[in-house]
Structure 1
Amino acid sequence: MEAFYLHLLRSCAALPHVAAVHAHLARAHPNASLFLRNCLLASYCRLGVGAPLHAARLLDEMPRRNAVSYNLVIVAYSRAGLPALSLATFARARAWARVVDRFTYAAALAACSRALDVRTGKAVHAMVVLGGLGNGLFLSNSVASMYARCGEMGEARRVFDAAEERDDVSWNALLSGYVRAGAREETLEVFSLMCRHGLGWNSFALGSIIKCCASSSSYAAAGDVGGGRIAEAVHGCVVKAGLDADLFLASAMIDMYAKRGALTNAVALFKSVPDPNVIVLNAMIAGFCREEAADVAREALGLYSELQSRGMQPSEFSFSSILRACNLAGEFGFGKQIHGQVLKHSFQGDVYIGSALIDLYSGSGCMEDGYRCFRSLPKQDVVIWTSVISGCVQNELFEEALRLFQESVRCGLRPDVFAMSSVMNACASLAVARTGEQIQCLAVKSGFNRFTAMGNSFIHMCARSGDVDAATRRFQEMESRDVVSWSAVISSHAHHGCARDALCVFNEMLDAKVAPPNEITFLSILTACSHGGLVDEGLRYYGIMNDEYGLSPTIKHCTCVVDLLGRAGRLADAEAFIRDSAFHDDAVVWRSLLASCRIHGDMERGQLVADKIMDLEPTSSASYVILYNMYLDAGELSSASKTRDLMKERGVKKEPGLSWIELSSGVHSFVAGDKSHPESKAIYRKVAEMVSKVAGISSREQDLAGCHSEKLAVAFGMIHLPQSAPIRVMKNLRVCRDCHSTMELISKSERREIILRDAIRFHRFRDGSCSCGGYW
């Protein structure tokens, strides 16, 4: 009878089948033996998800139980990811002291490892010692493994050293624990001892040491940048052990070389593998993605096609890696096809694939599709939230990024440093300093303030919000600075008109020799020289950028030089520079020259430049507006009118001026002539009061002068902010001359500091003068 049921149970491949055998056994043989009931229990336990609960019910119904009965359920709960239930079953087993054996303790220790519950693990360790089982090799290994998995390497090493007997499992538990803890020196020491004992030449040990060498901290500590000696020595050990055909080790070594920047070695190793499986192919695809270069990422796309042509089934890792490659290569159409395959293989619920899909759609500008992927995921962890927040920032959906961040915090999620850095950049773009300061406080509370990326984002936020002093203070407080940190504070000084301060910081950066300046650093320096009128210095820095640092100028650098020369009145030199540059057919550089023509009243050159721009960009409103204002300045009203008519004829619309100010009540926005604000009557009264103080003009003229958006925002700030607080206003367009002059006078008559950020730079008005010195 037992043989018949045992045969049935061995053939059961699904839960309903085991349940059917169970029902038949209960009816036909209610007094079945303990052995047969344990076999039924084992059949439930091996079926995975959902089955442990059926096994637990069977355990409760059994009239007799032994250690095997409890051990089966303890292990089943642990493997199903239910360590709390596993330990609760262990406690029940201990209540019957006679049924606890060394396998029971080993199962309980394994449950503590899965739960990372070192406190309970120590209690089980004490029970093992009190039970006189602590000297046995089997439990000694279980205890050491538990401590190692929980990160308690000091305790693991003490158990290992005290053991009377050791085997491969003992050494491997200690080795893998040190690798997991990132303890490079200890890992190499243990591996060396294993080799002396003749135990290190096995797949598990070599896999662990390869993982250790693959970590970025390993090669950084060794000073062995870009692969080299350590990786090749480990590779040599694998070959010497005769395990170079082991596909697991091959994939690990490919990953090791790729992570260390030795992609050529990784490719050579990959090509030497005679019959690579999907794991090896995945490692190589991921290796190509680590270069973060479009041409290299396309190699990954070709490898994925090879994977399919071989008839292999892609895994979750295959999809997450190839989606990243599509994003890097800009192959968004290919990425959408991969998304279809993800759906076909039912992997759409995987968080890593979900994150890669969000990144893909964000990178292609399809944020709505990315948002749909985000909302469709059954589990939204911190990685997913960070991806969608970063995607919103990347697509300039800054308000949405802030809203999502607040939603994630309300959901009880603890944001990581990348999420906080992204949302801080959103605050910088919106110039909402109060919100940025709240996020900075959260970063300090979470311990993220020490991260360089977080400090860089805060500097950027302060600078964009008009608080150059706070940006400088944060920079000085940073323990670790990179090229982004230096560039951010240089840019801060540049956009606030502190050109000499920007040059001083740049010289300090060169003296510190932390990192060579990059394109962004030089762009900030050229901006500082342009805004400060430092022509000779600017041209010198433009020259050394390529000559000494090998950095090719971009269109932004060339535009800065044109602006530098044009503002200094050297219009002919600026035009010659454009014609000799690689960007002579780009409207942006010509528009900069047109603005300078307006400043210096060069109508003839300005008309020619305007015609050139309109040929290049016939629908761009900025050029028409500059030309229109240039005619007005010269008193040529008919030409100005013709320019406006030409805009209407070509369907060109001027971007509306928008100004905003952040108070404790939130962000308040205004457009020209805006009367939609709930306090508009009080705002216009304040505008009239301020303008009448400085101009003494009629009521009708007050209305005309007071309609610009920045004046409305400043008036609102005057009403609500205390006398000691500076008024910080942001505008999406350049400030007009009338408003600039008015702000200078208001700052003196009201005895208030006004900080106005326009599309180009900051204007800091104090006591009747501006930080730009009228040079904007």
Structure 2
Amino acid sequence: MRWGPPERDLGARRLSLPAQTPRLRAPNHSPPRLGLPLRHPSAYRHLLQLAAGTQSLILCRLLHSHMVRAGYKPGLFTHNILLNAYCRCCDMATAHQLFDRMPLRDTVSWNILSAGFSRAGYSGAALGVFREARSAVALLDRFSYVGALSACADLGYVKVGRAVHGMVVVNGLARRAFITNSLIDFYSNFGVINKVRLVFDGAEELDEVSWNSLLTAYVRIGWPEVAANILVWMHRSGVKLNSFALSAILKACTDMKDSQDSEDVRRMLHGCVTKVGLDLDLFVGSAMLDVYAKNGGLEEAIKVFECIPNPSVVVFNAMIAGFSRLGTESCGKYRVEALRLFRKMLRRHIKPSKFTFKSVLEACISLGALKCGRQIHAHVIMNNLQNDDFIGSALVTLYSTSHLMIESFRCFEMTSKQEIFTWDCMISAYTYNGHFEKAVSLFKELLYLSKEPHQFTLSCVINACSNSGMLRVGEQIHGCSMKLGYDKFTVCGNSIVEMYTKLGELDASIKTFQDLGSLDSFSWSAMISSYGIHGNAGDALMLFEKMKECRTHRLRYYESMSMEYGLSPNSRHCACLVDLLGRAGRIVDAEDFISKSGYATDPLLWRVIMRACLFYGETEQGIHVGERLMMMEPFSSSSYILLYNMYLDAGKVSLAMRTRGLMRERGVNKETGTSWIEIGASVYSFMSNNSQQPHMDIIYGKLEEIMIHIRQKMGDAGLKILKLEYQSEMWKKSLVNSHGELLALAFGLCKLPKSVPIRVMKNQRVCGDCHTTMKLFSELERRDIVVRDPVRFHHFSWGSCTCGDYCIVENLFIGFKSRELIKLFEAIHGFPQIKDGYNPATRIA
């Protein structure tokens, strides 16, 4: 039965509205005359359509209230309009109540309610309405199925969506263009491209939206090449392109791999955009600008930018991001242009978005423009965007690269910390600035918050462990990466290989390298360096040859770099060759090579020669090189110390004293020597000339015990340490305390079980006395001792060291034995070998 009297019996009541109410014209209807008696149902309909169009919930409720007070019983058509008004105003609770009280419902009623739930974000409720409609209504129309497909796409219900597709086919609607477009969009959301083509090819009706939906589907799954072919197909078929499809394919073509093909496609698309008259369209223009900016077409990007009338913030963002990105690959002037463009944007009173701030902050980071970055930070605060994770991460990086860790941590604290990359930036900032323990502590906090780290997070914290010597913590993080399945990933695996290399665990480094699923150039280089700094020269050369067999383009042979692989050698590569010559005793040849290398002003190369002079006792030549070094780097303490020792060796005491005087006058201070050892979960540090450290009585007792045995067996052995009486306070407070590695070693001998190797880290080179003493310690105690200095590892076992007693070389080939180095050098340069049997100097600074 109908609810209430028919609509024609409506009483002549007035609906009083304010005189200022705008008279908006409803589509295809003449507006009602406000202020006159409501004598026809169309008056309600027009006003309800006005409420729905303007989404005015107040007007909708006023009209509904007037109907109730007037005793008006609306029919099905008016009920649907009222239901649509509530749904448009997102008052779904009232809409559902109204729907339940409707005496009559048709397919339109169900469709309106379902669309309202979808529009309000309740896709599950929308799908529930569709299910009820199938039971209540005999025949659903195309809008019903389109709404159900949209709800399934939002909920990720692939199987339910396929079931809806089957219903569409059964009801004979599958070949209509409207349904076809929805099905293409549904399957493209899940990347099921074969279903997309099946629907498209099987449709009898296709419109412009169908073609554009197909093109967008291929763009969405990451096949820009196929999308470009479809674009050509559309053009030949006479299909009109819209701005949405062109914007999508333009953005997709930025990531095309083949540079030549991508360039041709970009130019073809630009011509197509111009022909169809969309070159001035805001969305297409910004996409075209982004394509050129991301692929190095700066001049084309500028031309497109200048042609866009009244550019929006999106267009400015694309241009600023393009300048910032180009700046990272070429020169800094483009980064400056990004900042100038940002200033131009502010002068036009265009409000920046979070993407704007992210790009300009990246430009400041690349330029090292801290002052400008602070000003942009102020704009971020003014726009209340300081809690955004993207902007916060950029600010963390900005301040950390300037070593302002307090400001960096404040920016991190102001973010929402919801994104894992924000934590990555802060952990990386701590690692970059040497705050390794804070980096590990922050990683623990991340795990405590039940956030799952990815491989870049693990890589950052593993680097912190490797630089701080925290082997046990590094092993635990390695275990964490294994549980998460990242240990076989290249980025994380490379960091683990490097960590074990730096912490003296060669076997673990080899095992990790062998378990890596994919090896890149860094993987091979890290493993070769691992063999080299641990003294396994033969294994390093064998792995190098294997790397060449695997065609990895990262080689260590100097001349093959440029001749075979097109790589320009830098000063570090030249230092390797200088070291080879220095180890072979060819110091004159090394100097000639430096003069021809183009790096004659680099102190690193001359420092390597100077150490070779020390090793072979070439004092006069070493003094000449040392004086040259002092002119190159007048504030480097190592140059003064090396030259001071050489003057003493040559008997030139006055010159030695003058060198020390110059060092004091110029305010050059030698870095405080620090050695540390990890025992359990704690790290114990020992600084030079500091006898106020804990456990010193135990350490002195152990040293005295060992050195007595060494003196009984070896005599003085030429060591200054053994020339003093062990009970002397001078021995304890002066001489021994200047060798922090010996204190750390003695502490490890007291605290660690005999089956555990002793690992000592230090921030300065191992001196000759300590090196010889540790060899004697390893033989007497029958313990494996591993010492890491800034250059290499020293593995002491049974009275020998893996460095072959050449412990003063600072370059990539450290640890290679002299015979193998000379052999390698012969293969590169063809110099004749020198004879074996040289006697290196015993005094090494």
CA distance 1:461–1:225, change in 2 (3 Å): farther
- Match among 355, 359, 362 for residue 324 of structure 1: 362
Is the 2:761–2:789 contact (alpha carbons within 8 Å) kept by the matching residues of 1?
Answer: yes
Q: Which amino acid aligns with 2:123?
A: S
Q: Does 1:465 align with 2:503?
A: yes
Partner residue of 1:700? 727
Q: Distance in 2 between matches of 1:610 and 1:591?
A: 8
Partner residue of 1:212? 252
Q: Which fold has the larger relative contact order, with Cα–Cα distance below 8 Å and residues 6 or more apart in sequence? A: 2
Determine which structure has the larger helix proportion and give its number.
1
CA distance 1:163–1:580, change in 2 (3 Å): closer
CA distance 1:274–1:143, change in 2 (3 Å): closer
SS of residue matched to 2:407: helix
Partner residue of 1:371? 409
- Match among 241, 244, 258 for residue 279 of structure 2: 244
Partner residue of 2:443? 405
Q: Distance in 2 between matches of 1:401 and 1:323?
A: 23
Give the alignment of 1:348-359 within 5 angstroms: 348-359=386-397
Is the 1:386–1:419 contact (alpha carbons within 8 Å) kept by the matching residues of 2?
Answer: yes
Partner residue of 2:455? 417
Q: 1-10 or 746-755: which moved more?
A: 1-10
- 1:244-269 CA distance string (max 9 Å, x none): 34342333233334444555554555
CA distance 1:618–1:438, change in 2 (3 Å): same
Cα shift at 1:734: 0.9
Partner residue of 2:20? none
Q: Which amino acid aligns with 2:416?
A: P
Q: 186-195 or 450-459: which moved more?
A: 186-195
SS of residue matched to 2:766: coil
Q: Distance in 2 between matches of 1:295 and 1:69?
A: 62
CA distance 1:137–1:416, change in 2 (3 Å): same
- Match among 427, 433, 438 for residue 395 of structure 1: 433
Is the 2:462–2:477 contact (alpha carbons within 8 Å) kept by the matching residues of 1?
Answer: yes
Show structure 1 runs of 5+ residues with no match: 526-540
Q: Distance in 1 between matches of 2:777 and 2:92?
A: 81
CA distance 1:400–1:12, change in 2 (3 Å): farther
- 1:535-581 CA distance string (max 9 Å, x none): xxxxxx3x665677666654544555555555555556666766777
- Match among 673, 688, 709 for residue 740 of structure 2: 709
CA distance 1:228–1:27, change in 2 (3 Å): closer
Q: Does 1:286 align with 2:321?
A: yes
- Match among 742, 767, 775 for residue 773 of structure 2: 742
Matched-pair identity in %:
43
Give the alignment of 1:676-695 within 5 angstroms: 685-695=701-711
Partner residue of 2:185? 145
- Match among 385, 389, 413 for residue 347 of structure 1: 385
Partner residue of 1:232? 267
Is the 1:227–1:257 contact (alpha carbons within 8 Å) kept by the matching residues of 2?
Answer: no
Q: Distance in 2 between matches of 1:302 and 1:643?
A: 50
- Match among 213, 218, 221 for residue 173 of structure 1: 213
Q: Does 1:86 align with 2:123?
A: yes
Q: Distance in 1 between matches of 2:701 and 2:203?
A: 86
CA distance 1:88–1:748, change in 2 (3 Å): farther
Give the alignment of 1:173-192 within 5 angstroms: 173-184=213-224, 187=227, 190-191=230-231
Q: Distance in 2 between matches of 1:760 and 1:689?
A: 31
CA distance 1:12–1:125, change in 2 (3 Å): closer
- Match among 675, 689, 693 for residue 659 of structure 1: 675
Q: Distance in 1 between matches of 2:111 and 2:290?
A: 38
Q: Distance in 1 between matches of 2:468 and 2:159?
A: 47
CA distance 1:683–1:18, change in 2 (3 Å): farther
Cα shift at 1:232: 2.9
Partner residue of 2:758? 727
Partner residue of 2:158? 118
Q: Distance in 1 between matches of 2:116 and 2:700?
A: 74
Q: Distance in 2 between matches of 1:302 and 1:195?
A: 40
Is the 1:70–1:89 contact (alpha carbons within 8 Å) kept by the matching residues of 2?
Answer: no
Partner residue of 1:528? none
Cα shift at 1:731: 1.5
Paired residue total: 740
Q: 246-255 or 99-108: which moved more?
A: 99-108
Is the 2:463–2:499 contact (alpha carbons within 8 Å) kept by the matching residues of 1?
Answer: yes
Q: Distance in 2 between matches of 1:664 and 1:101?
A: 72
CA distance 1:36–1:615, change in 2 (3 Å): farther
Q: Distance in 2 between matches of 1:337 and 1:239?
A: 40
Q: Distance in 1 between matches of 2:419 and 2:400?
A: 18
Cα shift at 1:741: 1.2
- 1:664-719 CA distance string (max 9 Å, x none): 53544443477888766655555444444434465437845477333344445445
Partner residue of 1:383? 421
Is the 1:213–1:256 contact (alpha carbons within 8 Å) kept by the matching residues of 2?
Answer: yes
Cα shift at 1:771: 1.0
Show structure 2 runs of 5+ residues with no match: 1-14, 16-40, 713-721, 808-845
Is the 1:687–1:706 contact (alpha carbons within 8 Å) kept by the matching residues of 2?
Answer: no
SS of residue matched to 1:728: strand
CA distance 1:106–1:383, change in 2 (3 Å): farther
Is the 1:288–1:299 contact (alpha carbons within 8 Å) kept by the matching residues of 2?
Answer: yes
Q: 405-414 or 190-199: which moved more?
A: 190-199
Q: Distance in 2 between matches of 1:169 and 1:581?
A: 64
Q: 702-711 or 108-117: which moved more?
A: 702-711
Q: Does 1:772 align with 2:803?
A: yes
- 1:578-634 CA distance string (max 9 Å, x none): 677766666555554554454455555656665665566555443444455556777
Cα shift at 1:768: 1.2
Partner residue of 2:376? 338
Is the 1:490–1:506 contact (alpha carbons within 8 Å) kept by the matching residues of 2?
Answer: yes
Give the alignment of 1:560-599 within 5 angstroms: 560=576, 563-565=579-581, 588=604, 591-599=607-615
CA distance 1:386–1:174, change in 2 (3 Å): farther
Q: Distance in 2 between matches of 1:167 and 1:12?
A: 29
Cα shift at 1:368: 3.1
Q: Distance in 2 between matches of 1:329 and 1:643?
A: 39
Cα shift at 1:764: 1.6
Is the 1:226–1:261 contact (alpha carbons within 8 Å) kept by the matching residues of 2?
Answer: no
Q: Distance in 1 between matches of 2:85 and 2:370?
A: 47
Superposed CA RMSD in Å reads 4.5
Partner residue of 2:490? 452
Partner residue of 1:256? 291
Q: Distance in 1 between matches of 2:80 and 2:400?
A: 54
Q: Distance in 2 between matches of 1:40 and 1:348?
A: 44
CA distance 1:507–1:59, change in 2 (3 Å): same
TM-score w.r.t. length of structure 2: 0.74
Q: Which amino acid aligns with 1:494?
A: G
CA distance 1:634–1:410, change in 2 (3 Å): farther
Q: Distance in 1 between matches of 2:488 and 2:237?
A: 43
| CA radius of gyration, larger in | 2
TM-score w.r.t. length of structure 1: 0.79
Cα shift at 1:381: 0.5
Q: Distance in 2 between matches of 1:347 and 1:14?
A: 31
CA distance 1:278–1:141, change in 2 (3 Å): same
Q: Which amino acid aligns with 1:362?
A: S
Q: Distance in 2 between matches of 1:129 and 1:441?
A: 53
Q: Distance in 1 between matches of 2:151 and 2:700?
A: 70
